[in-house]
Amino acid sequence: MAALTKRPVQCGFRPTVCRRRPPGIAPSSDCQGIPAVMHAFRTHTCGQLRRSDVGQTVRLSGWIHRKRDHGNLLFVDLRDHYGLTQCVADVSSDIFPVLEGARVESVITVTGRVIARSEETINPRLPTGDVEIGVDAVTVQSTADVLPLQVAGDQEYPEDLRLTYRFLDLRREQVHRNIVLRSRVITAIRQRMVEQGFLEYQTPILTASSPEGARDFLVPSRLHPGRFYALPQAPQQFKQLLMVSGFDRYFQIAPCFRDEDSRADRSPGEFYQLDFEMSFVTQDDVFNAIEPVLAGVFEEFAEGRAVTPAPFPRIPFDEAMLKYGSDKPDLRNPLIIQDVTPHFQGGGFGLFAKLIDGKGAVVRAIPAPGAADRPRGWYDKLNAWARENGAGGLGYIIFGEDGPKGPIAKNLEADRVEALRGQMDLKAGDAVFFACDKPLAAAKFAGLVRTKVCIELEMLETGVFKFCWTVDFPMFERNEDTGQIEFSHNPFSMPQGGLEALETMDPLDIKAFQYDIVCNGVELSSGAIRNHRPDIMFKAFGIAGYSPEHVEEHFGGMLNAFRYGAPPHGGAAPGIDRIVMLLADEPNIREVIAFPMNGQAQDLMMQAPGGVSAAQLKELHIALDLPKPKPKAQGAGTVTAGGDAG
RNA sequence: GCGGGUGUAGCUCAGUUGGUUAGAGCGCUGGCCUGUCACGCCAGAGGUCGCCGGUUCAAGUCCGGUCACUCGCGCCA
């Protein structure tokens, strides 16, 4: 160790290199070649050294990524955030046994000479592959036990293991890259929002429970026995209040908390939104403000993938449901659904004809270009799939070279079949599937079929980000079970046509200034022009069956704010996690979150949720009323009054 | 809450029609190896086949239940 730190060495950073110096690494001198004491841990990162550095004495710190032990010659790949550098030692060196005895993932500091590799030993796959470090001294900073999962290599591991040892998992290349991407995306979003004239404001994390929406996470109040804070499901009311306060353009990378069950694209508990709101704007102004931000961010990180240029296509909700069978159309899928009810009404295919006349059903047709030569078994398989997904079956017509085929073609009159073929613009060699049900159910099922057929026929466009807006959502809808008229989305959206529409139109025909941003079939965001007029709000809630007293009681805070001069305003809140997920091309949201919870909303590493002490509960005036414990309840998440309060 | 999938060594997986001592790769331990970069070679340790019950002469394999993880539905103004 004597040779290690005391000896002054020449500065490793020449002026040209200094500019690339990562944060936190100070040059060990003023870069004028004046000798200085070497930094305790590193003069360079593990991704930095090049052929031009040959001859310098340098110091690197990092993790032992891999070792190749030839008995009398030892290679160590040293890894840090920035890259890999090969270090080499031979048996004649004092430090050889130290390196040989250090397990992978131990943290070491090496000091040595930068050596040019001979032509045949250059590693072209490594940016630092022209050089290696001849190790003269080594310090073991931290030893590693035998690993529960390997950092080097790309073996897959079960997710609970990865989450339990997330700090190891995050060292691995792909997740590490995803988290860096996330950081860069958020920085790019901030820059672009500021360029658009938005300012970032914070809003409370401890707030009040709101009666609408998802289940809240509650936080008990110590000072107010029996009362609770709630974590915000979104800063919705606060951002509107900021508009009322005159701040004009607000944004925030906002944490949102909702106690709902997880999905592959929905993290349990918490997620982040690019929350923004603007005053004195129309719907078009909102679109014009956010489109360049989203398109710009996606282009910045697209790496060759095409991005829909602004302005994005705007698809009315009704059209989306008809043509794509979804309010979040995946425009990478070229198939377009059409309504073909008239061809079946009163026709020879009795099943559909009866449903149309008897139940008010409609028939939606999903084209399957080029599918005519698929074997019978393919159609049977899709039929079975349809049954698994709750449909009675999946009718189809095959347009073969020798005419229409299949059970429906046998029964439906030839001229009707031909008219249908003409409407759908199908050729010999194509096929078409049908969904027959009440309008909403038929649309949704046709949407499923559209997706399924697209995958089966391998027609999904790849390497693109296809954006669109879904606009003109209905303000109200009828609850199928109760017959009641309800808000279909956000009750605080402005109805199109304002008060007059509410007073004169059939509520089910009223549209809202409510819109979604969709990318590749993923709902990135919903948003709206808000209803800032108490009179219109009372009227809208009245249609949905709520009394003025109810509105006053539950939303009095907002209403009150709107009584002292509120600007017309609107905004949206694209999901950060989903944006990063799309850019990282990951199918699961947990791959772009540094410390996610598992599907049961547990943090396996921190053991949350955990028990708390009886004293803590008493201070909060809380007595537990627990369900009977299951026979074998152990491990993380067990709630006990006397548990691990540490 | 409901439905599908998975569960065999620390990890990834194989395991035939139910039939002798449950295998491979990675990792781990020991030995050999001076130009590798997924280094190589030799040897070794490591298993309640998720758990409980059943059928059977015999169960990793078949049946029932249960638990865990995961995907989906419900839920997500």
Tell me, in Å, how far CA of A149 is from C1' of B28?
A: 12
d(CA A563, CA A584): 45
Number of other CB atoms surrounding residue A447 within 10 Å: 26
Say what percent of chain A tops pLDDT 70.
91
* Burial of A198 per CB tally in 10 Å (0-12, 13-18, 19+): buried
Give the model's pLDDT for residue A639.
Answer: 30
Q: Are A231 and A206 in contact (CB under 8 A)?
A: yes
Predicted TM-score (pTM) of the model is 0.89
Closest nucleotide over all strands to A523 (CA to C1'): B76
Tokens at A520, concatenated: 């590749």
Q: Note the pLDDT of residue A353.
A: 95
- Give residue-wise pLDDT tens across range A582-600: 999 998 899 999 999 988 8
Q: Please state, in angstroms and rounded to a whole number, the distance separating the CA atoms of residues A399 and A383.
A: 18
pLDDT value for A441: 86
Q: What is the pLDDT of residue A377?
A: 82
CA nearest to nucleotide B71 C1': residue = A264
- What mean pLDDT is reported for chain A? 88
Residue A628, pLDDT score: 62
- Mark A19-33 as b/e (b = at least 16 C-beta within 10 Å): eebeeebebbbebee
Q: Residue A36 has what pLDDT? A: 60
pLDDT of residue A465: 96
Please list, in sequence order, all residues whose beta carbon lies within 8 angstroms of the beta carbon of residue A107, skipping any fewer than 6 positions away: A61, A62, A63, A64, A140, A141, A142, A144
pLDDT of residue A3: 35
Q: What is the pLDDT of residues A130-151, one digit of tens each?
A: 999 999 999 999 999 888 889 9
- In this prediction, residues A64-81 reach a mean pLDDT of 95
Does pLDDT of A641 surpass 60?
no
Average pLDDT over residues A348-377: 92
Q: What is the pLDDT of residue A98?
A: 94
The Å distance, CA of A161 to C1' of B56, is 38
Q: Does residue A629 register a pLDDT over 60?
A: no
Q: How confident is the model at residue A25 (pLDDT cuts 50, 70, 90)?
A: low
Look at residue A34 in the predicted model and tell me its pLDDT.
36
State pLDDT tens for residues A175-228.
999 999 999 999 999 999 999 999 999 999 999 887 778 899 999 999 999 999
| pLDDT value of position A158 | 86
Q: Among A533, A538, A537, A484, which residue's Cα sits nearest to residue A508?
A: A484
Give the pLDDT confidence of A498-530 residue by residue, as tens digits. Answer: 999 999 999 999 999 999 999 999 999 899 999
Residue A156 carries which side chain, given as an amino acid letter? E
The secondary element (H helix, E strand) that includes residue A395 is: strand A395-400
Q: Which residues make beta-bridge pairs with A364?
A: A339, A435
Strand B bases within 7 angstroms of protein beta carbons: 1, 10-13, 25-29, 32-40, 67-77
Distance of alpha carbon A445 from alpha carbon A458, whole angstroms: 20
Q: Give the model's pLDDT for residue A280.
A: 98
Residue A1 pLDDT > 70, yes or no? Answer: no
- The rounded distance, in Å, linking the Cα atoms of A273 and A239 is 13
Residue A483 has pLDDT above 90, yes or no: no
Q: A631 CA to B65 C1', in Å?
A: 14
Q: What Å value separates CA A451 and C1' B11?
A: 36
CA to C1' distance (Å), from A158 to B50: 15
Give ipTM to 2 decimals.
0.90
Amino acid identity, residue A474?
P
Q: Using N-to-C axis directions, what is the helix angle for A317-324 and A439-456, rounded to 10°?
A: 50
